[in-house]
Chain A
Amino acid sequence: MATTTIDPTAPRTAGTDAGSARARRVRRRGSTGPFGGPSVRLTLVMVLFALYALAPLAWLLINASKTQQSMFDSFGLWFSGKFALLDNLHQVLTYDGGIYVRWLANTILYVVVGAGGATVLATLAGYGLAKYDFPGKRAVFATVLGAIAIPGTALAVPTFLMFSQLHLTNTIWAVIVPSLVSPFGLYLVWVYALDAVPTEILEAARIDGSGELRTFLTIGLRLLTPGVVTVALFAVVATWNNYFLPLIMLNDPNLFPLTIGLQQWNLRATGVNATPIYNLVIAGSLLAIVPVVAIFLSLQRYWQSGLAAGSVKA
């Protein structure tokens, strides 16, 4: 066939049995490319990608199982000497009166309240914007979308100064309150709700005498679940991994999240009374990664469908 022009608007070529048989075969294979079977060359390229992505994590795991001494005098990407993983983890959890556990608890608090709150606020607002008309809605929308483009740089210093005037710095609220706003989360829920929550169903509920909040809780929320899970998950990661905000807001080690605490441990290797505890930094880092990775892997189905559903609805 000479022509390879592809017109998306053209109707499916009718009656070509070969074509539809081929399409069926394609679907059965579950792929979008009807162009031959698995390719070894392509797979090898992706193996390189995977190695790049995973090798540092392997390095972390391997070195978390070494004593500080054998870390210095053995090859980085293979085990060596005594298998000290459990030793290191034990030390991480007990060092300095168990401060790591404190940091872990702080991180969980910031994540639950901060990311949880961000998800709730974004869900309510996204649903409200998608399913209601009210005065000033356009302005709200424009402002929030504009905010996505505001770089945090422009905010960090003034937010710190403002919070310090309000005596909020060096409290948990200094980390939690700014985490509560997620313009992008709102945007995702809004887009998702436009499609996933049919207005007719809401009307039917109203006719049955259901209040607005009850309608939202019993019907809206259920239909929004994949979108909400996606927003929540990425809010969790953002809060768990947050570094800059707690760095500027906190100076009491008892309030630190893991990210700041680990960097503080790392700093002990330099300076006048340098006492490197690299084995603790590395084992502590490993421990800090595990929960996020576990959440991502276990909720894969939800967030991938949330992402896909979000982009499918174009």
Chain B
Amino acid sequence: MSVTGRPETKVSAAVVLTDASPATSLPRRRRSLAGLWFVVPFLAVFLFVLVVPVLYSLYLSVFQDKLIGGRSFVGLANYSQLFSDPKFWDGLGRVALFLAVQVPVMLGLALVAALAIDSGRLHGAPFFRMSVFLPYAVPGVVAVLMWGFMYGDQFGLAGNINKLVGHELLTPLSPQWILVAIGNIVTWEFVGYNMLIFYSALRSVPSDLYEAAAIDGAGAWRVVFSIKLPALRQAIVIATIFSIIGSFQLFNEPNILRTLIPSVIATYFTPNMYAYNLSFAGQQYAYAATLAIVMGVVTAVIAYVVQLRGSREANR
């Protein structure tokens, strides 16, 4: 669901379990400029595609493009316009609702799957691990096209089922259900990915702990609550943060479904769709940049709060 300009390799989220600080240099570590040369190529591209665009959008956001008169400095006018723009609030409210429901459901399912696969009590655990993960390898576009077809009442599964029961039982593409339908697609795409993050973290629990627990007579549930869930805390925080970022950027799913049901999904269905349509259909680049910055700040603040809460609870 990520719409990042740069495709991210988020896989390593599990790795963030480590608390090792980069600054704790070993005495033997090489002190020289040689290290810099290893980092420079990355940094050069990084500046070009990340730092400069952020600065550029900050710059754009204080200007306004007019058909007559060209670009003029307007201070914070774009921001005040945005904060009183009902379309912006409509989209923001929708992704907030989406986030509040879809993220807990998806992460809960991922957690259950990871615990089940790690429990050692499954027939064919590797099969389940692979098959639950598989949808992650499916391009988001293909996933949406596929689910869009299945949701349809022509040759979709929804249509098949409705015909079977004789009335309109399933209408995933109707205005009431569309957000649920999108949530289902996103869950399908990413539940396996999150499962794998949790599973990797579980694998890192030293087996002595389980042995000690067994000796102490702890039952399976006790082990889940006393060992496994605490061991997963950091992984859960990381997965939550990435899911929040993903939800705020929601774009692919509604944008592609829109081709099926343009009357249900508006051009400002999510803030990101709004930004896209403002700039590529409306040529309102400065206003779109403002929207992008505000969404960036909102996302960063929420991600930061989650991180803070996560680490505070860890310290309790």
Contacts and interface: CB of A to CB of B under 8 A. Distances in A.
Nearest to A285: B142
A289 B138 CA distance: 6
Given A3-B216, A151-B295, A263-B141, A311 B155 contact: no
A81 to B, nearest CB: 12
Nearest to B50: A147
Contacts of B45: 121, 177, 180-181
B56 A161 contact: yes
A79 interface: no
Interface string B260-300: 00000000000110011001100001001100110110011
Contacts of B52: 162
B128 A57 contact: no
Given A50-B132, A56-B135, A263-B256, A188 B12 contact: yes
Contacts of B60: 158, 161
A105 interface: no
A46 B208 contact: no
A37 B119 CA distance: 10
A84 B201 CA distance: 45
Secondary structure of the A contact surface, majority rule? helix
A187 B299 CA distance: 21
Nearest to B212: A6
B214 interface: yes
Contact of A184 (B12, B112, B150): B12
Interface in B17-40: 17-20, 22-23, 25-26, 28-39
A207 interface: no
Given A56-B135, A125-B39, A178 B6 contact: yes
Given A132-B35, A191-B15, A6 B3 contact: no
Contact of B147 (A56, A75, A137, A297): A56
Contact of A241 (B51, B139, B207, B218): B139
A3 B49 CA distance: 57
B315 interface: no
Interface in A26-56: 26-27, 29-40, 42-43, 45-46, 49-50, 52-54, 56
A128 B210 contact: no
Given A141-B22, A159-B53, A314-B17, A6 B209 contact: yes
A124 B213 CA distance: 42
Given A12-B208, A184-B10, A147 B5 contact: no
A238 to B, nearest CB: 3
A132 B37 CA distance: 10
B249 interface: yes
A33 B120 contact: yes
Contact of A32 (B3, B34, B130, B205): B205
A157 B288 contact: yes
Contacts of A144: 46
Contacts of A46: 113, 116-117, 122, 128, 132
A302 interface: no
A262 B142 contact: yes
A235 B113 contact: no
A65 interface: no
Contact of B18 (A138, A148, A235, A314): A314
Contact of B122 (A3, A39, A181, A285): A39
B3 A30 contact: no
Given A56-B147, A125-B41, A155-B292, A231 B216 contact: no
Nearest to A122: B42
Contacts of A128: 35-39
A184 B22 CA distance: 15
A19 interface: yes
Nearest to A72: B155
A312 interface: yes
4 closest A-B pairs by CB:
A31-B120, A132-B35, A128-B38, A152-B4
